[in-house]
A = this chain, B = another copy of it.
């Protein structure tokens, strides 16, 4: 086995189970742990230098998040991400982001509106650098701000969870720089709609944003599958 990127970042004050949980989740989302791969307790315990107990507790959480699949008396394996699965997630996410932006229109206060404008500039700045990583994280920041402005904690949690399911594909709609201008325009539209408290316009903008993402991700998946097909 190659060298161990799966490294537990110890946080003095976090229970081991949570450290393990985060480590494994990160591993799954980044693709370090591949779909279908078995998660064997003793191996993971040795790799991370802990006992089986925290590993098991972490797996229980991943199970509920849908990131791992339990096979009775066989153990956990990294859940397969199918195209259908991603489409389902995106379908739900579209509805929830739409809800979030509608609520934000109703509930956002002046302070947060200013914050949102700030995030918008951050995105534009990041786009100027052409660094995919910073663009992606600035974009996520912008969206998180909107969702939080909804004032609905449950919604925030769900959207963030659904977002994670697609972590691996987060670069896809950012990669080709043709789309950069489009992203800026989409953000402007969302921001302006919220500022004017125009729910319909805002919802449409949010939908368009997800549609663009979906298209990029689906293109990527089809490309991946063709590569697979060629091998097989």
Chain A contact residues, CB within 8 Å of chain B: 13, 15, 17, 53, 56-58, 60-61, 63-66, 72, 85, 88-89, 91-92, 95-96, 98-99, 103, 152-155, 157-158
Cα of A145 to Cα of B77 in the assembled complex, Å: 30
A88 close to B154 (CB less than 8 A): yes
- Residue pairs across A and B with Cβ atoms less than 8 A apart, 7 shown, are A56-B57, A66-B154, A88-B154, A92-B154, A95-B96, A95-B98, A96-B96
Cα of A185 to Cα of B17 in the assembled complex, Å: 50
B92 close to A152 (CB less than 8 A): yes
Q: How many copies does the complex hold?
A: 2
A95 close to B88 (CB less than 8 A): no
Query: Which of B85, B88, B155, B157 is within 8 Å of A91, CB to CB?
Result: B155
Cα of A72 to Cα of B18 in the assembled complex, Å: 11
B72 close to A15 (CB less than 8 A): yes
CB distance from A107 to the nearest CB of B (A): 11
B154 close to A85 (CB less than 8 A): yes
B91 close to A152 (CB less than 8 A): yes
B91 close to A153 (CB less than 8 A): no
Query: Which of B15, B53, B99 is within 8 Å of A95, CB to CB?
Result: B99
CB distance from A18 to the nearest CB of B (A): 9
Closest B residue, CB atoms, query A159: B92
Closest B residue, CB atoms, query A152: B88
Residues of B within 8 A of A157 (CB): 66
